[in-house]
Structure 1
Amino acid sequence: METQKHLYRLDALKFISAIMVVAIHASSYLYHTKTATVLNYEWYRYFLEFAVPFFFAASGLLLQNSSPKKIISFSIKVFSLYIAASILYTVFNISKIAGNRYFLDIAFWDSLRNLLSKWTVGAFIRGDFAQFHLWYLMAATLAGLIIAFLRSKGFSTQKIFIMSTLLYIAHLSSFIDFNPIVAHGGFPRALFYTSLGMLAGKFLQKNYRFYGIISISAITAYAAPRILDSGNLIDIFLIISVFAAISWAGNSNAQPNFISYMGKYALTIYILHMAFITAINQTILYAGYDLDYLRTHAYWVPAMITASVLLSILMHKPFERLFLKPVTRIIDSLTPDPATSDLPAVTSHQLSLQQKHRLEQRS
């Protein structure tokens, strides 16, 4: 019996991308405090922008051969993650307000009113009403639903990609104003890169090693102008880098290794790391230490990345048990089951038999 192909390179790149996201947030204080330099920030910061587009494209690769019902199922499960994570961060934020009141003598009720003032319909749709980085989950949910609708109307992968490209350009050029319901590019960005991953999956060729070289070269070409602050940024290099990386991962015959094994924690790291970064900072402040002084040390950013990644991994199962599974059961009871399928971008990482058959025909 023919077996499905597990994409271990995709697992590995998902784990690496999750660490890249953590690095963005662990080092962001350098930018906000205007202490960023080429040596302590800029030389690596722009390479990290590969991460979120890659996450979207990875979902697209795995949704390429899925039916509209399975894509809807994917979107519902991502939405469950969004709700679970939002509940977690709501509890966390209220706990932080209480801690600030007790240790730092910051007014509790004023802080709570400020928190509640951010709970708007627009913020919920943007995905950032509980924590800013959760926009990714809501954007992925909406992108999945749009793709499912287009698939149900008979749109091919190429047509979906063309439509998503036009929508993304319209958003970037402000021809269509999505800003009230979009954060960090939102669903137009998610739709574009998800369809890019689908396109890469549709046209996978025999395994060519140069895909990896193309990806690295393109992200370097994307980052270099920003590091040197020279000329206009050409986003096409980021698109090429993501497309090449997906093609490289999708053609993999690699064996599993430690990094690919850690891929199963990628989404948990993405969701939980901000809680641990914030908790560590607050604990230092509560203990009476000078946080600004500690941040001047070269070890600070690597230490924060390491600590938040390890703590997120340790909390993988508790998060699933205490937040994700209860929310998933509630949402499943409120929505019809369009299909029985795993969440491709989180747990599957497999090609369909149809796609594998096409690859064998080309070999």
Structure 2
Amino acid sequence: MNYSLNTFRAIAALFVVLIHVSAIYFELGYNDFLNYFIYRNLFEIAVPIFFAATGYLLNDKIHYYKEQMIDYNVVEFRKISSKLAFDMAKKYLFYYLFVSIIYIVFEYYLYLTDRLYLDLDRWNIFLERLSIERFLNGTIGGVHLWFLTGLVVVLLILGFLLRLGVTPGVIFVIVLPLYLLNLEEYWTLTKIDKIIADEGLFLPLLCVAIGMFVRDLKLVKRAIYWYSAFISLFAFVCVKYYVPSKFDSILLMLSLYCFGLIFSTYKNVGKNIKIFQSFSFWGLYLYLYHLIFLRIYNKGLLYFYQYHYKTTKYYDEVWYLPLAIVVSILGPILLAFAMDLFKKSSKNKAILSKILSSLSFILYIFTATILLTSGLYYGNKFKESTKIEAPTMEEYYFGQEHLTGTVSKNTTKVYVLKNGEIVRRGVIVKNRKFKIYVKDLIATNKSTVEIMVQNERGKAIKGNLNINTWSDGILSNVKQTENTTIGKGSNGVKKIELYSNKKLVRTVPIQKDNTFKIYIGDLKKRKGQKFIMIPVSIDNKYGKLHKFTIE
């Protein structure tokens, strides 16, 4: 048994978990979190080790069957080697299909809880992931599952090559230059490489070929393997951090090759560390299912903080990261442990198996039930408390000073936006009325102004402001006293021009309530004298004239 292989796979599985747990800081813009890009580059060795370990184990099985053959036959040996590769491909294809279905169902579950807790409808996003392209490139269930489709395609290719009698050494010699040429981004190779998502086809092909190749080597233990492995790995981290280029992955492949030499010659590394050896069984569960437990953890915290009006972000808490690591590791291990107990049927462990497996599944069911039932219980209440509607705005005519209207329940803020930026905040008074001074913001009746309302949870709704212009500019309720004329102008009237004998004799501004008052005592000369009043808009358009005569 190769204990070193189990140890390296255990460390690689932990690295994969750390990649996804710490990714939230990168996604949120905290790129400087503990020098994120330094330790993130260090974790890059994880997936290549998984690929190389698969190649090593495949070739190890081939050697085992070769040793068991009494009468060595080349044709039969090729068939057996090819069948082993194809059988392994079938196994990983089953894993991919089964786990993808689990993740799709899980994503649908999160879609429902997001609607309940956050009032977010992500149905279109959910449907986008259900595409043929994502199924073929290995990301229909989750981005990390490309590892499985990569193995399936690579093992199928190796199966055909082994059937033709191509040895692991020759496979390595063929694949290495293809990988290097692909780094130069030759069009044909790049197109082939994109068959598999994320890291492409040639990376897993080279890593598996390295694993098979080192299994064939007959070497002795040398300390230089350790030095070379770690020096090249840290050189990769530094080069990618300080002077990144498309060729820095060559150092990563060199490091992988040296690690392959280590677990090919030093076969007892970590033999006495039981937890590492247990990862030979737990590792695959950890890789495949850790994201489910991590997302349940993140979603649960998000819902809790949103519902209880927490001002801090859950990922800013000091306990978030260590607890996220524990949940992401412990969850898949408990799942693997429960599944293993169900498979065992020995009498002396029957009762213990039932108890432990039942407790494990109760834990999973309890977690899901808490999220679902609490969502159903608080969902409507939460949705009602966060519901927000567009405001009802009173008619606004070009030239008015204030925009007025009424906001819906739960609205706490109202803003005016111009060119997409907030330029003014309104005041919400009793009966949910608001009033905002906008005259200086609207230069013409073609100005683009938006109104945005927001609730205390930050949810916002935007709406365009319709700027009305007058149709006629009508004067109404016109009355004459001894020396004055009073009346009211329609919306949009800025001033009144008074004419006598076709000459402009007076200009009077309109009041805030659209009323006007014109003194004409000094203009009266004779009985029967005629006057004309014309309303004028802010953009100097003339309305319907109004005539009156001095009696």
- Contact kept? 1:285, 1:291, Cα under 8 Å: no
Shift in Å at residue 27 of structure 1? 0.8
1:49 and 2:44 aligned: yes
Find the aligned partners of 1:251 and 1:292 in 2 and give their Cα distance.
Answer: 51
Once the two structures are superposed, the pairs formed by residues 199-238 of structure 1 within 5 Å of their partners are: 199-227=213-241, 229-230=242-243, 232=245, 234-238=248-252
Structure possessing the higher radius of gyration over alpha carbons: 2
Residue 273 of structure 2: aligned partner: 257
Residue 191 of structure 1: aligned partner: 205
Question: What is the identity, as a one-letter code, of the residue corresponding to 2:19?
Answer: I
Shift in Å at residue 116 of structure 1? 2.5
Shift in Å at residue 97 of structure 1? 0.5
Shift in Å at residue 60 of structure 1? 1.0
Find the aligned partners of 2:133 and 2:341 in 1 and give their Cα distance.
Answer: 29
Shift in Å at residue 231 of structure 1? 5.5
Question: What is the identity, as a one-letter code, of the residue corresponding to 2:273?
Answer: N
Find the aligned partners of 1:291 and 1:141 in 2 and give their Cα distance.
Answer: 47
Residue 10 of structure 1: aligned partner: 5
Residue 297 of structure 2: aligned partner: 280
Q: 1:178 to 1:137 in 2, by over 3 A?
A: same
1:88 to 93, 98, 102: 102
Q: Which has the higher helix share?
A: 1
Residue 286 of structure 2: aligned partner: 269
Q: 1:310-357, CA deviations, whole angstroms, 9 ceiling, x for partnerless residues?
A: 1110111556899xxxxxxxxxxxxxxxxxxxxxxxxxxxxxxxxxxx
Once the two structures are superposed, the pairs formed by residues 305-320 of structure 1 within 5 Å of their partners are: 305-317=325-337
Find the aligned partners of 1:112 and 1:291 in 2 and give their Cα distance.
Answer: 28
Once the two structures are superposed, the pairs formed by residues 45-124 of structure 1 within 5 Å of their partners are: 45-65=40-60, 66=62, 67-107=81-121, 111-124=122-135
Q: Aligned pair count? A: 313
Q: 1:282 to 1:257 in 2, by over 3 A?
A: same
Q: TM-score, normalised by structure 2?
A: 0.54
Q: 1:173 to 1:315 in 2, by over 3 A?
A: same
Query: Aligned to 1:288, what secondary structure does the other structure show?
Result: helix
Q: 1:231 to 1:283 in 2, by over 3 A?
A: closer
Give unpaired runs (5+ residues) of structure 2. 63-80, 343-551
Shift in Å at residue 283 of structure 1? 0.5
- Contact kept? 1:50, 1:242, Cα under 8 Å: yes
Q: 1:249-293, CA deviations, whole angstroms, 9 ceiling, x for partnerless residues?
A: 122342342222233211110001111111111101111355972
Q: 1:187-209, CA deviations, whole angstroms, 9 ceiling, x for partnerless residues?
A: 32111110011111111412223
Question: What is the identity, as a one-letter code, of the residue corresponding to 1:262?
Answer: F
- Contact kept? 1:165, 1:192, Cα under 8 Å: yes
Find the aligned partners of 1:180 and 1:212 in 2 and give their Cα distance.
Answer: 33
2:29 to 34, 40, 55: 34
Q: TM-score, normalised by structure 1?
A: 0.80
- Contact kept? 2:21, 2:294, Cα under 8 Å: yes
Give unpaired runs (5+ residues) of structure 1. 1-5, 323-363
Shift in Å at residue 182 of structure 1? 2.3
Kindly, what percent of the aligned residue pairs are identical? 25
- Contact kept? 1:284, 1:291, Cα under 8 Å: no
Q: Which fold has the larger relative contact order, with Cα–Cα distance below 8 Å and residues 6 or more apart in sequence?
A: 1
- Contact kept? 1:23, 1:301, Cα under 8 Å: no
